[in-house]
């Protein structure tokens, strides 16, 4: 069995009989053909996590989580999600034939909710959950108590809740380290910070295991409407700060509470990395750029890393000769509303006959 289990020596121990996989991981590292050179970056790469089985890197988390469920004989999966974690867990629960009950973030994109449901998960949305810290804390406390009663645990893609399942996400770093012996500069989008911490810890684990000479710098990128980590990281502070309400429209990164923020700041600093805050408009511009200039269709959260690269470049904080890796974390079909906005900017016409068709094509060619 492949999937994340290619790196079983670096993962928590799971018996062979219990190991779950839908073919997650081993995602392509694609060198930029246009964006990188246009920015003066000849070694810009995109790690296409949007090509995982359910369309995001969260499949790595779900593979480890459900494998442990199978090994321990747990009978139900209770989880929270803004979309991608829920879709991944729902798919792997279907493969394991376990019920999946999901408390979803208020305002999660309908496309992501439909994906969870088509795998058989129940989706329950609570007003202001995932937007207001006090509501989020109340819901989480209730879910924790309920999970204990049901002899299970709440699955959340954060180290502060599910450290062993998050070890599956560290395989992203293992794949990058195996491809670049000389080290990289990796830009990672963050909501609660779990992915950033997984990448940083993954590189550290790889170094301990193999003693690689390459050094990997990990940078954390957040939308400014959910700046719990990056300003503190960039400003030399030690403490992340919860925001009263997440105002970013970037789905999946609306995490106003401090989850893994303390550990993210420490891990990024150990790597030599820092934090970059980006505006939603910059993210949408990068999402459109990735689609039209590189043929990479990602959801808005998947374009956050590239927006961070542009900020770092403007600040003179990049080594242009050292490989730069942007994590493209989720597929564009995850957010069909935003995809519709992007598609509306392309030429579209309903024509009466072949003569009008010919003239229109000529106009497009000469445009």
d(CA 227, CA 248): 9
- pLDDT per residue over 92-116, tens digit each? 999 999 999 999 888 887 888 899 9
86 with 184, same domain: the answer is no
Q: Which domain holds residue 29?
A: 3-55+165-343
292 with 275, same domain: the answer is yes
Residue 96 falls inside a structural domain: yes
268 with 308, same domain: the answer is yes
Residue 364 falls inside a structural domain: no
Q: Cα–Cα distances in Å, from 246 out to 41, 69, 129?
A: 33, 32, 11
What is the residue-averaged pLDDT of the chain?
93
pLDDT at 190 (0 to 100): 97
Give the domain CATH number at 8. 3.40.50.1100
pLDDT at 256 (0 to 100): 83
Residue 240 falls inside a structural domain: yes
- pLDDT per residue over 3-25, tens digit each? 999 999 999 999 999 999 999 99
What total number of domains does the chain contain? 2
pLDDT at 341 (0 to 100): 79
Mean pLDDT (whole number) for 198-221: 94
208 with 250, same domain: the answer is yes
Task: Check whether 302 has a pLDDT greater than 90.
Answer: yes
Q: How many CB atoms lie within 10 A of CB 126?
A: 16
224 with 286, same domain: the answer is yes
pLDDT at 23 (0 to 100): 97
48 with 65, same domain: the answer is no
CA angle 151, 155, 160 (to 5 degrees): 105
Where do we find the tokens 């493209």? 328
pLDDT at 236 (0 to 100): 94
Mean pLDDT (whole number) for 209-231: 94
Residue 366 falls inside a structural domain: no
Contact 69, 96 (CB under 8 A): yes
Residue 357 falls inside a structural domain: no
pLDDT at 343 (0 to 100): 76
pLDDT band at 272 (very low <50, low <70, confident <90, very high): very high
Q: Where are the beta strands (DSSP E) in 135-208?
A: 154-155, 183-189
Collapse the DSSP code of 278 into the 3-class scheme (helix H, G, I; strand E, B; otherwise coil) and give the result: strand
Mean pLDDT (whole number) for 243-251: 89
pLDDT at 254 (0 to 100): 84
pLDDT band at 347 (very low <50, low <70, confident <90, very high): confident
Task: Check whether 296 has a pLDDT greater than 90.
Answer: yes
pLDDT band at 1 (very low <50, low <70, confident <90, very high): low
79 with 150, same domain: the answer is yes
pLDDT band at 281 (very low <50, low <70, confident <90, very high): very high
Which of 36-45, 71-80, 312-321, 338-347 comes out lowest in average pLDDT?
338-347
pTM: 0.93
208 with 322, same domain: the answer is yes
- pLDDT per residue over 119-164, tens digit each? 999 999 989 887 787 888 898 899 999 999 988 999 999 999 999 9
Residue 362 falls inside a structural domain: no
Task: Check whether 69 has a pLDDT greater than 80.
Answer: yes
35 with 62, same domain: the answer is no
Nearest 5°: phi and psi at 26? 55, 40
% the chain with pLDDT above 70: 99
- What's the gap between Cα 217 and its chain centre? 18
pLDDT at 92 (0 to 100): 98
pLDDT at 59 (0 to 100): 98
% the chain with pLDDT above 90: 74
Burial grade of 281 (CB within 10 A; 0-12, 13-18, 19 or more): exposed
338 with 293, same domain: the answer is yes
Task: Check whether 37 has a pLDDT greater than 90.
Answer: yes
| Structure tokens that stand for 279 in this block | 């505006």
d(CA 335, CA 111): 6
pLDDT at 183 (0 to 100): 94
């Amino acid at each position: 069995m492949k999937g994340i289990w290619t790196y079983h020596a670096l993962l928590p121990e799971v018996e062979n009989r219990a190991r779950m996989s839908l073919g997650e991981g081993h995602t392509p590292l694609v060198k930029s053909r246009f964006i990188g050179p246009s920015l003066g970056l000849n070694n810009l790469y995109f790690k296409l996590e949007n090509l995982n089985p359910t369309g995001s890197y969260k499949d790595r988390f779900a593979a480890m989580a459900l494998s442990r469920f199978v090994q321990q004989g747990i009978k139900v999966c209770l989880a929270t999600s803004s979309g991608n974690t829920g879709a991944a867990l729902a798919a792997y629960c279907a493969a394991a034939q376990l019920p999946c009950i999901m408390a979803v973030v208020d305002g999660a994109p309908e496309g992501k909710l439909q994906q969870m449901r088509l795998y058989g998960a129940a989706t329950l949305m609570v007003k202001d959950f995932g937007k207001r810290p006090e509501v989020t804390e109340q819901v989480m406390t209730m879910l924790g108590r309920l999970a204990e009663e049901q002899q299970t645990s709440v699955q959340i893609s954060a180290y502060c809740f599910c450290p062993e399942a998050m070890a599956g996400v560290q395989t992203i770093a293992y794949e990058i380290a195996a491809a670049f012996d000389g080290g990289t500069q990796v830009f990672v989008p963050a909501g609660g910070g779990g992915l950033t911490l997984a990448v940083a810890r993954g590189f550290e684990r790889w170094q301990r295991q193999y003693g690689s000479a390459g050094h990997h710098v990990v940078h954390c990128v957040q939308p400014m409407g959910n700046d719990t980590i990056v300003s503190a990281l960039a400003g030399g502070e030690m403490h992340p700060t919860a925001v009263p309400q997440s105002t970013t429209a970037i789905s999946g990164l609306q995490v106003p509470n401090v989850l893994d923020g303390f550990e993210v700041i420490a891990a990024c600093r150990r790597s030599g990395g820092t934090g970059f805050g980006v505006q939603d408009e910059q993210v949408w511009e990068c999402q459109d750029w990735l689609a039209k200039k590189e043929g990479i269709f990602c959801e808005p959260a998947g374009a956050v890393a590239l927006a961070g690269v542009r900020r770092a470049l403007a600040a003179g904080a990049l080594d242009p000769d050292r490989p730069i890796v942007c994590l493209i974390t989720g597929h564009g079909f995850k957010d069909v509303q935003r995809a519709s906005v992007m598609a509306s900017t392309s030429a579209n016409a309903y024509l009466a006959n072949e003569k009008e068709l010919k003239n229109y094509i000529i106009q497009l060619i000469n445009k």
